[in-house]
């Protein structure tokens, strides 16, 4: 097995210099850094993280338990997390919770078995027993996107204000029957976006009409059926707000299948911007979350928590902005 001493001998430097280069713990001259990295590459040296962990009582590993494979937005968040963690010398271990409490419990237990330094978690809906276990364990943990528990740091999007802005914008364009397709029950994001919908109606002088609020469950099939029921009402909505990107796309599919034109027959806006939102015709009016900002801030908070410098748990709200395009009925300049 190639050792750090072998790398040092090949590069003509001390073992401590090799360590500083690999861990970015001290400024090293460019020529020296180059020789060390060339020696690492030539010898195919792989650091022994387990041995280092025994010395430091750290593994330099951060767990991420999140529904990344089924949510485009979370994929962007995880990418930002990986960048921030790598810059600090940490490796991410990713596990998909599938938004299921039992799966969440199992993947967190598996991650904790890897002797993590900390955990980034997008908790599942409801009162997750996993949070109680994490609180008792003392493992540094930061919640992402949802903030159901004040015992932990949390980094979330500002949900209510931009949702209210979307609804007010539709009302300003003359819509009086504005429907809301809600996300998964039990998530703080779902409740906050519903609050924003109600606030937007209130500011526009409109009453909440219960038949216009339906559950999409952050699921394409459920949303398709729910929006179909909206269009089947004796007085159907003239505008629809979908509270999550999967539900926006499912709503578009249902409207297309029913022959309804967007925005001429039904205006459509959504929460969650995504890469091809301005490629559709019409281009989608959405709320854009700062996925990169959320991912990086979550890692920064966790590193402070790991270092013991974080203080009392805090909840941070990252601003989101409305991307005005065509699907609300506006025409681009």
Find the CATH number of the domain harbouring 195: 3.40.50.2300
**Buried b or exposed e, range 142-176, using 16+ CB within 10 angstroms:** bbbbbbbbeebbbbbbbbbbbbbbbbbbbbeeebb
The answer to whether residues 206 and 269 belong to one domain is yes
Q: Which residues constitute the domain of residue 150?
A: 59-158+291-320
pLDDT in tens, 47-91: 665 445 444 456 899 999 998 666 778 989 999 999 999 999 999
In a domain, 108, yes or no: yes
Average pLDDT of 243-271? 95
In a domain, 201, yes or no: yes
The answer to whether residues 151 and 296 belong to one domain is yes
In a domain, 325, yes or no: no
The percentage of the chain sitting over the pLDDT mark of 90, rounded to a whole number, equals 70
What integer pLDDT is reported at residue 55 of this predicted model? 45
Banded pLDDT at 206 (limits 50, 70, 90)? very high
pLDDT in tens, 301-333: 999 999 999 899 999 999 999 999 999 998 764
What integer pLDDT is reported at residue 326 of this predicted model? 93
The answer to whether residues 258 and 268 belong to one domain is yes
Query: By the 8 A CB rule, do 104 and 148 touch?
Result: no
Between 98 and 55, where is the model more confident?
Answer: 98
The answer to whether residues 87 and 19 belong to one domain is no
In a domain, 332, yes or no: no
The answer to whether residues 71 and 143 belong to one domain is yes
User: Token pair for residue 155?
Assistant: 């980094």
The answer to whether residues 182 and 119 belong to one domain is no
Average pLDDT of 252-279? 91
pLDDT in tens, 216-249: 999 999 999 999 999 999 999 999 999 999 999 9
In a domain, 275, yes or no: yes
Average pLDDT of 160-179? 97
Between 278 and 86, where is the model more confident?
Answer: 86
The answer to whether residues 87 and 127 belong to one domain is yes
Query: By the 8 A CB rule, do 299 and 272 touch?
Result: no
In a domain, 330, yes or no: no
Q: What is the average pLDDT score of the chain?
A: 91
In three-state form (DSSP H/G/I as H, E/B as E, the rest C), the secondary structure along the chain is CCCHHHHHHHHCCCHHHHHHHHHCCCCCCHHHHHHHHHHHHHHCCCCCHHHHHHHHCCCCEEEEEECCCCCHHHHHHHHHHHHHHHHCCCEEEEEECCCCHHHHHHHHHHHHCCCCCEEEECCCCCCCHHHHHHHHHCCCEEEECCCCCCCCEEEEECCHHHHHHHHHHHHHCCCCCEEEEECCCCCHHHHHHHHHHHHHHHHCCCCCCHHHEEECCCCHHHHHHHHHHHHCCCCCCCEEEECCHHHHHHHHHHHHHCCCCCCCCCEEEEECCCCCCCCCCCCCEEEECCHHHHHHHHHHHHHHHHHCCCCCCCEEEECCEEECCCCCCCCCC
The answer to whether residues 106 and 191 belong to one domain is no
Q: Is the pLDDT of residue 276 over 80?
A: no
- Cα(32)–Cα(30) distance, integer angstroms: 5
What integer pLDDT is reported at residue 52 of this predicted model? 52
Q: Does the reported pTM lie above 0.85?
A: no
In a domain, 329, yes or no: no
What integer pLDDT is reported at residue 94 of this predicted model? 93
What CATH number is attached to the domain comprising 13?
Answer: 1.10.260.40
The answer to whether residues 11 and 129 belong to one domain is no
- Cα(146)–Cα(122) distance, integer angstroms: 6
The answer to whether residues 164 and 279 belong to one domain is yes
The answer to whether residues 267 and 244 belong to one domain is yes
Which residue, 116, 139, 20, is CA-closest to 60?
116
The answer to whether residues 103 and 204 belong to one domain is no
Overall number of domains in the chain: 3
In a domain, 71, yes or no: yes
| Cis, bond preceding 263 (omega within 30 deg of 0) | yes
pLDDT in tens, 2-35: 888 899 999 999 988 988 888 777 788 999 999 9
């Amino acid at each position: 097995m190639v050792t750090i001493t072998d790398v040092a001998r090949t590069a003509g430097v001390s073992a401590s210099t090799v360590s500083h280069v690999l861990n970015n713990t001290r400024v090293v001259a460019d020529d020296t850094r180059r020789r060390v990295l060339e020696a690492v590459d030539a010898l195919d040296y792989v650091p022994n993280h387990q041995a280092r962990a025994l010395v430091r009582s750290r593994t330099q590993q951060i767990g991420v338990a999140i529904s990344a494979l089924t949510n485009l937005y979370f994929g962007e968040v995880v990418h930002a997390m990986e960048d921030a963690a790598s810059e600090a010398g940490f490796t991410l271990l990713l596990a998909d919770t599938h938004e299921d409490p039992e799966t969440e419990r199992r993947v967190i237990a598996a991650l904790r078995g890897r002797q993590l330094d900390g955990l980034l978690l997008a908790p599942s809906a409801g009162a997750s027993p996993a949070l109680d276990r994490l609180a008792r364990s003392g493992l540094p943990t930061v919640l992402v996107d949802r903030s159901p528990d004040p015992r932990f740091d949390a980094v979330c999007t500002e949900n209510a204000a931009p949702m209210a802005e979307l609804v007010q914008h539709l009302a300003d364009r003359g819509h009086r029957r504005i429907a809301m397709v809600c996300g998964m029950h039990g998530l703080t994001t779902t409740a906050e976006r519903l609050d924003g919908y109600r606030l937007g109606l209130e500011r526009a002088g409109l009453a909440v009409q219960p038949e216009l609020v339906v559950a999409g469950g952050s699921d394409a099939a459920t949303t398709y059926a729910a929006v179909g029921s909206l269009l089947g009402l004796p007085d159907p909505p003239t505008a629809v707000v979908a509270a999550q990107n999967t539900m926006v796309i499912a709503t578009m599919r249902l409207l297309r299948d029913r022959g309804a034109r967007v925005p001429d027959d039904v205006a459509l806006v959504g929460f969650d911007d995504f890469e091809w939102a301005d490629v559709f015709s019409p281009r989608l009016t959405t709320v854009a979350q700062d996925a990169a900002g959320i991912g990086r801030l979550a890692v920064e908070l966790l590193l402070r928590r790991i270092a013991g410098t974080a203080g009392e748990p805090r909840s941070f709200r990252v601003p989101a902005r409305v991307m005005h395009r065509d699907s609300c009925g506006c025409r681009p300049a």
